[in-house]
Amino acid sequence: MDLSLLQYGLGAAAGSLVGFSLGLVGGGGSILAVPLIVYLVGVKEPHLAIGTSALAVAANAAANLVNHARHGTVKWKIAGLFALAGVFGALLGSSLGKAFDGQKLLALFAILMVIVGVLMLRGRKGEGDPDVTLTRGNAPKLLGTGAATGILSGFFGIGGGFLIVPSLMYATRMPIFYAVGSSLVGVTAFGLTTAANYALSGWVDWPLAGVFLAGGIAGGMLGAGLAKTLSSHKGALNAVFATLIFVVAAYMLYRSVGALGTGV
pLDDT of residue 93 exceeding 90: yes
pLDDT digits (tens, 9 = 90+) for 135-181: 999 999 999 999 999 999 999 888 777 788 888 988 999 888 788 88
- The set of residues, in sequence order, having a beta carbon less than 8 Å from that of 51 and lying 6+ positions away, is 157, 194, 195, 198, 199, 201, 203, 204, 205
- The set of residues, in sequence order, having a beta carbon less than 8 Å from that of 7 and lying 6+ positions away, is 41, 42, 43, 208
Higher pLDDT, 120 or 101: 101
Torsion over CA: 227, 83, 158, 51 (sign): positive
Helices (H), 100-123: 102-121
- What backbone phi and psi angles, to 5 degrees, belong to 118? -65, -45
Quick one: what percent of the chain has pLDDT higher than 70?
91
pLDDT digits (tens, 9 = 90+) for 119-132: 777 766 656 788 99
The model's pTM is 0.84
Distance CA 1, CA 70 (A): 39
Q: What is the mean pLDDT of residues 43-48?
A: 92
Would you say how long the chain is, in residues?
264
pLDDT digits (tens, 9 = 90+) for 50-60: 999 999 888 88
Domain range list for the chain: 5-262
Name the residue among 258, 235, 250 with its Cα closest to residue 109: 250
Distance CA 114, CA 240 (A): 14
Torsion over CA: 119, 120, 123, 125 (sign): positive
Distance CA 243, CA 36 (A): 16
Element containing residue 221 per DSSP (H, E): helix 206-229
Quick one: what percent of the chain has pLDDT higher than 90?
42
Cβ-contact 79, 182 below 8 angstroms = yes
